[in-house]
Structures are given as structure tokens and as C-alpha cells.
Amino acid sequence: MNDGLPASAPRILLAIETSCDETAIAVMDEKGHVPVHRIFSQIDQHRPFGGVVPEVASRCHVEALPPMLDEVIAAAGLDWSAIEGVAFTRGPGLATSLLTGMASARALAYRLQCPITGVNHLHGHAVSIRLTRNGGMKDIALPALILLVSGGHTMLLLEETPARYRLLGQTLDDAAGEALDKGAKLMGLGYPGGPEIEAHARTGDPAAFAFPRGLARNQEASHRYCFSFSGLKTSLMVLLKREPSLKESRLADLAASYQEAVVDALMLRVVDALDHLPIRTLACAGGVARNARLREKLSAAADHSGVALALTEPEFCADNAAMIAASARLLNTWADPVAADLDVLPGWGLGEDTGTPHH
């Protein structure tokens, strides 16, 4: 290391993700292969509250991180000196959770005398479409349209040059995953709501109930690729207030129809973008990208439009550290861990400045 910066790009990276309720550490080699990654999901700790409690999340990170580090290094069969760079999630996310990852990453990088980088969590999700289970990172034909859908975020991105993004639109209220969580709660299902709704939807009729699909298509230009899910949730609430017995008598139909409305609201904007933008790849990332119905519809849309399909592999859809390593690898912007101005950015967005994570 020269003045805190590497003479060349680090080969072996260790990445730490603590933006919300998953504690994750991964190792990535110089080819983008991820020999080991671990995720500790705190869902059981948050389930009693029906959602993520920031203080619970932060406490869980403190307990999970040190043993996970030892486990990852042992599983990778690495000597500590092999680690040449440390990446961590700098934002967006819960401030008290982000701070645990930053403290850990800075300490490790300082101890190993290697550089550090603070990664944008959303950028991590966006580049997760490149991750493969047993190979390195795959190439994506650009421009790519990326639907990023999770419990906290719903956005449509255009990747025109490698790992640089233009935000086409995003949700104006709830995220898609949040809409599924809230819908599941109204139906009396457990947390997290997405998998619960999906499980019940398998035997239901997606056309049984007519739920709204969010914003009308004749929106003003600035909202053309934006989403809205608050009306959908309200519609379900009104229906169940009028007919509460539906939760018992037609739960599968309710779940299937509600899921279909969420997926359709997403697909309306995706198809519009495919029809009007010069896109070569349709991609999807984030926790909701695991939803089988969404994957099926995205696949059909890609086929219909004649573009390549790049869906994040299910193992890398939820928050994970492999995607943080991938982002660090692609952006390759490193700093000295001693730099005092390295801080978390809880409200960090994703846009054209994402390639410059250090301010």
C-alpha cells in the first residue's frame, strides 16, 4: 500500500453487508468468483414485531459479525494476508446497522494494512445480476434495464455503461416488498410477507379479485417509469373490512390476486421501457426478484421483446455481501482505512454519481 492506496487492484476482497436485517460476509477472488459467502438472517428476531426494528438489527450485527468473520476465513481456507481489500456497505440503510459494518471493515483493513471501499447497497443489488454460483462475474449486454425490487426499494434502472446507472423511476410510496409485507399482515399471514403470499398464491386464482395496478399509464413524463403501491394496500384493506371472512374462506385467491397486482404493477413499467428504450438485456435484482411469478413474467417479456434475460440468482437476491464485493470489484475505488472522513450514508441514493462512492 502506498499512501493508503493500492498499487494495483486488490485481488482477494472481503466484503461486509449490514445495511438492514441481514449480517453478511463474503470473499471474492480476482476473477469475481465467490468461494464463500455467509448470511445470517435476523428474520426470527424481527418477526414478533412484524417488521425490522433498527435497535434489534444493530444488536444482532454486533453478535453475529465476529464469529462470522472467523467462519468465512476458515471456510475459504485463506491466510489473512491474502485479503487485499475490504469492502463494506456505506448506505443506504439503517444508520446504527451501517455503523457496525463500517467499524468492523475499517478495523480489519487497518489491521491488514489494505485499502477499504464503502459501497452503495443499491449498486450492490444492481451488479448482483452478474454474480454466478460457481463461475466468475458474467458479462451483460448493454444497455440493460434493471428492475430492482426489495423490501425497502423499488426502482427501474438503465445501465448504459458498465456499472453506471440512470434512474428511470422508482416507487412514490411503498416498496414492492413492503406492499407484500403489509398485504400479508392484512391477510393474517406471517412476516416476511412475500414468501408467505407466494406460498398461499400457488393454489389461488390470480384473477379472483380485481386489485389496482398502481399509477395510470398516462402519467406525466417524469413519473412514466414510477410505481405506487399504496392504493393496492388500501384496496385490500377496504375489501377485508367489508368481507373479513375472505381471509379464511378465500385466502389462496386473495393471495394470488394481490401478488398478481404487485407483479403486474412492476411489469407495466418494465414492458413500457422495453417498448420504448434501446435495451439489450432485461434484468431483475433484490429480494422480491426471488418471486417465481415475477421471474416467469420477466422471462416472458424478455422473450417477447427479443432481449437477453439476467435475473439475479436466488441465492444472491436477498441482502448479501457477495454483491458488495462485486460492486467494489467493478468500481475499483479504494481509500485508506485511516481516512477520518469515511462515514456511513444512510440516505444514499443511486444515480449517475454512484461510481464515485468516496466524497
Partner 1 sequence: MKILSLELATERAGVAFVDTDCPEGYLEETWEEARARHGELLPALDRLKRRGGWDWRELDLMVAGRGPGAFSGLRAGLLTVAFLAAPGGTPCRFVSSMEAAAKAWLGEQQQAQAMVIGDARRGHLWMGLVEADYGSPPCAWELIPGEQFATRRPTGLPLLSPHLDRILALAGADAIGLNPTPEATARLAWQREKDRAPAEPAIPLYLHPPV
Residue tagged 440512470 (cell numbers): 166
Cβ proximity to partner 1, 66 vs 314, nearer residue:
66
Q: Which stretch binds partner 1 (CB under 8 A): 183-191, 222-230, 254-262, 337-345?
A: 337-345
Select from 111, 202, 276, 304 the one that contacts partner 1 (CB under 8 A).
Answer: 111
Select from 30, 47, 49, 71 the one that contacts partner 1 (CB under 8 A).
Answer: 49
Closest CA to 146 of 164, 133, 134: 164
47 near partner 1, judged by CB under 8 A: no
Cβ proximity to partner 1, 104 vs 312, nearer residue:
104
Q: Residue 346, preceding bond cis, omega within 30 degrees?
A: no
74 near partner 1, judged by CB under 8 A: no
Here the cell at position 19 is 445495511
Alpha-carbon span 343 to 105, nearest angstrom: 12
Alpha-carbon span 127 to 162, nearest angstrom: 9
2 near partner 1, judged by CB under 8 A: no
Task: Give every CB contact of residue 42 below 8 A, 6+ residues apart in sequence.
Answer: 21, 22, 23, 52, 56, 57, 60
Q: Are 13 and 325 in contact (CB under 8 A)?
A: yes
44 near partner 1, judged by CB under 8 A: no
106 near partner 1, judged by CB under 8 A: yes
Cβ proximity to partner 1, 70 vs 352, nearer residue:
70
65 near partner 1, judged by CB under 8 A: yes
Alpha-carbon span 235 to 249, nearest angstrom: 18
Q: Which stretch binds partner 1 (CB under 8 A): 97-105, 154-162, 196-204, 205-213?
A: 97-105
96 near partner 1, judged by CB under 8 A: yes
277 near partner 1, judged by CB under 8 A: no
Cβ proximity to partner 1, 73 vs 184, nearer residue:
73
110 near partner 1, judged by CB under 8 A: yes
Cβ proximity to partner 1, 88 vs 258, nearer residue:
88
112 near partner 1, judged by CB under 8 A: yes
Q: Are 154 and 207 in contact (CB under 8 A)?
A: no
344 near partner 1, judged by CB under 8 A: yes
Alpha-carbon span 173 to 121, nearest angstrom: 20
Residue tagged 450492490 (cell numbers): 124
Select from 11, 33, 59, 223 the one that contacts partner 1 (CB under 8 A).
Answer: 59
Cβ proximity to partner 1, 221 vs 340, nearer residue:
340
Strand 154-161 with 164-170, pairing: antiparallel
Query: Cα–Cα distances in Å, from 111 out to 1, 3, 81, 206?
Result: 13, 15, 10, 55
Q: Are 214 and 268 in contact (CB under 8 A)?
A: yes
Q: Are 56 and 68 in contact (CB under 8 A)?
A: no
State the minimum distance, in angstroms, from the CB of residue 51 to partner 1.
Answer: 11
Contacting residues toward partner 1, per CB under 8 A = 49, 53, 55-56, 58-59, 61-63, 65-66, 69-70, 73, 80, 96, 99-100, 103-108, 110-112, 337-338, 340-344
